[in-house]
Structure 1
Amino acid sequence: MFWQTTRFRIDLSRPRVMGIVNVTPDSFSDGGRFSDASAGAAHCEQLLKEGADILDIGGESSRPGAAPVSVEDELARVMPVLTEALQLGCPVSLDTAKPEVMQRALDLGVDIINDIQALRAPSAVDCVAAHPGCGVCLMHMQGEPRSMQAAPTYDDLLSTVRSFLAERTQVLLNAGIAAERIVLDPGYGFGKTVDHNLELFRRQRELMVLGRPLLAGWSRKSTLGVLTGRGPGERLVPSVAAALAAVQHGASIVRVHDVAATVDALKVWSAAGLA
């Protein structure tokens, strides 16, 4: 299976590692570390040296309780880093839910739009549909970041997530966006309790009936903290374990902070014949 993006047709016959580049002052695990353009660009280069296949650059925190960011502020944060990242010869993803930011990034040449709101903002689908080949990642989220963890409830978690992702995929197909451009994300930690996350994790393979590659984002999530008692900066081992388990359960792409450790673990996993 392949993921078609603006400049790259990404072969998903082996698991791919998406490295996280947060150019925000308030990300839950590394807020402020890479919030200026030079630090963000340097971090992109470092993640590629560590083996990242894709860079995912975001300028607005999606942590629980995060305050919204204006279009102007988000553009000021991400555009300089995107400009530098696009010179590095790898697929570049933009993590945003704002159509105005999507459009500017696509005009610049960005390869992928990674949207936690699954292109539900007005004109977001049109923006992506107008582009001849960018990739897109659609994520499930109950509610919105400021309130999503207040009291998430589901009658049937797996059915809800699966139906949502199927419906959003069909919206894109109806808009003329080719299926090979679409990747799906269950949305671990987004409007889900610890029990919800673990149930969805155990049943992740059931989402493969949707026929599109799966992206899993477990890196440093609070559920791992609950399971291990570790703070966000101490979750390297649980994050790598979760990434391997996600791949074992059918994920084609893992979105991570700790690229080098994840890449090394996947090499061992593959050598053990688990690929």
Structure 2
Amino acid sequence: MAVVNRTPDSFYDRGATFAFDAALDASAAALRDGADIIDVGGVKAGYGARVDTEEEIRRVVPFVAELRRRHPGALISVDTWRAEVGRACAEVGVDLINDTWAGADPDLARVAAEYDIGLVCSHSGGLAPRTDPHRVAYTDVLADVRSTVVGLAERAVALGVRPDRVLVDPTHDFGKNTYHSLELTRRLGELAATGWPVLVAVSNKDFIGETLDLPVADRAAGTLAVLAVSAWEGARVFRVHDAGAARTALEAVAALRGGTPARE
């Protein structure tokens, strides 16, 4: 899953794909590099300028429509917590709603059910969208994550989302400190054991930077290491900024596990 941010203030690319054509070019490059899914976001995850629903729709809906026209065989995801945005994107052909804020809008799952599309169920530790944790604590972070995402997945299915279209995301760094994100990575197999396919979104995140004492621009090697561990522990979908490097690393893991061999 390749990240394409239609935002001027992304923590990683600082607006490099905010322009419509730049975002289209980045999507085409990611697909050439081996991405299966393009994940389109119109609002920065963390603190920043307020983006209302109308502006988010303006940023993502025409783009999703054009992406669908140019790449009819690609899977397209929209990163949003708003049901209204999810519905508008579903109308133009999105395949998956990536709800990174743990059902903050309870109607988002209903949209996925109505349009027969996929849904990512996440964990944010009870935080409201676009807020950061403060002195967050868990008795057992993996147990909290597992309970939350499985509950959201079961609710989605009860609302009519097909079980084979639901993914769960432990959501590293959202409502968690570095210790929690490292613990989730080490124990990811416990989440995979629930039977729900696990998505991980770890690319260049703060827990990698804090662990290695590195700025965003220097976290590529750390990202690949975390992706490899996550794959070994059973993750199935990997949300990344560098699709080509991630694909190569994941194929190597598959070969080591005795699955599909890496490309020659």
Preserved contact between residue 141 and residue 184 of structure 2 (Cα < 8 Å): yes
Q: CA deviation at 1:172?
A: 1.1
Aligned to 1:228, which of 204, 208, 212?
212
Aligned residue number for residue 119 of structure 2: 136
Q: Aligned partners of 2:129 and 2:162: how far apart in 1?
A: 29
Please tell me the residue identity of whatever aligns with 1:196: H
Comparing both chains, which one has the higher relative contact order based on Cα–Cα distances under 8 Å and sequence gaps of 6 or more?
A: 1
Q: Aligned partners of 1:146 and 1:20: how far apart in 2?
A: 18
Please tell me the residue identity of whatever aligns with 2:59: R
Within a 5 Å distance, the mapping from 1:243-254 to structure 2 comes to 243-254=227-238
Please tell me the residue identity of whatever aligns with 1:92: I
The C-alpha deviation readout for 1:67-93, integer Å capped at 9, x for no partner, is 441011111111232122213121000
Aligned to 2:181, which of 172, 197, 204?
197
Aligned residue number for residue 37 of structure 2: 54
Q: Aligned partners of 1:122 and 1:183: how far apart in 2?
A: 17
Within a 5 Å distance, the mapping from 1:103-182 to structure 2 comes to 103-131=87-115, 133-142=116-125, 143-182=127-166
Q: Does 1:43 align with 2:26?
A: yes
Please tell me the residue identity of whatever aligns with 2:121: L
Structure 1 range deviating more: 68-77 or 181-190:
68-77
RMSD over aligned Cα atoms: 1.5
Q: Aligned partners of 1:161 and 1:273: how far apart in 2?
A: 27
CA 1:204–1:78: 2 relative to 1, 3 Å: same
- Stretches of structure 1 that go unaligned for 5 or more consecutive residues are 1-17
TM-score computed with the length of structure 1 as normaliser:
0.89
The C-alpha deviation readout for 1:154-183, integer Å capped at 9, x for no partner, is 122111111111211121121122211100
Within a 5 Å distance, the mapping from 1:21-36 to structure 2 comes to 21-36=4-19
Q: Aligned partners of 1:147 and 1:103: how far apart in 2?
A: 24
Preserved contact between residue 92 and residue 110 of structure 1 (Cα < 8 Å): yes
CA 1:83–1:229: 2 relative to 1, 3 Å: same
Aligned residue number for residue 91 of structure 1: 75
TM-score computed with the length of structure 2 as normaliser:
0.92
Q: Secondary structure at the match of 1:92?
A: strand
Q: CA deviation at 1:102?
A: 0.4
Please tell me the residue identity of whatever aligns with 1:252: R
Q: Does 1:73 align with 2:55?
A: yes
The C-alpha deviation readout for 1:119-140, integer Å capped at 9, x for no partner, is 3314222222211x21111111
* Count of aligned pairs: 256
Aligned residue number for residue 214 of structure 1: 198
Structure 1 range deviating more: 141-150 or 23-32:
141-150
CA 1:38–1:274: 2 relative to 1, 3 Å: same
Q: Secondary structure at the match of 1:237?
A: helix
Please tell me the residue identity of whatever aligns with 1:28: F
Q: Aligned partners of 1:92 and 1:104: how far apart in 2?
A: 14
Q: Aligned partners of 1:260 and 1:122: how far apart in 2?
A: 35
Please tell me the residue identity of whatever aligns with 1:215: L
Preserved contact between residue 200 and residue 238 of structure 2 (Cα < 8 Å): yes
Preserved contact between residue 101 and residue 129 of structure 2 (Cα < 8 Å): no
Q: Aligned partners of 1:103 and 1:129: how far apart in 2?
A: 11
Q: Secondary structure at the match of 2:250?
A: helix
% identity of equivalent residues: 33
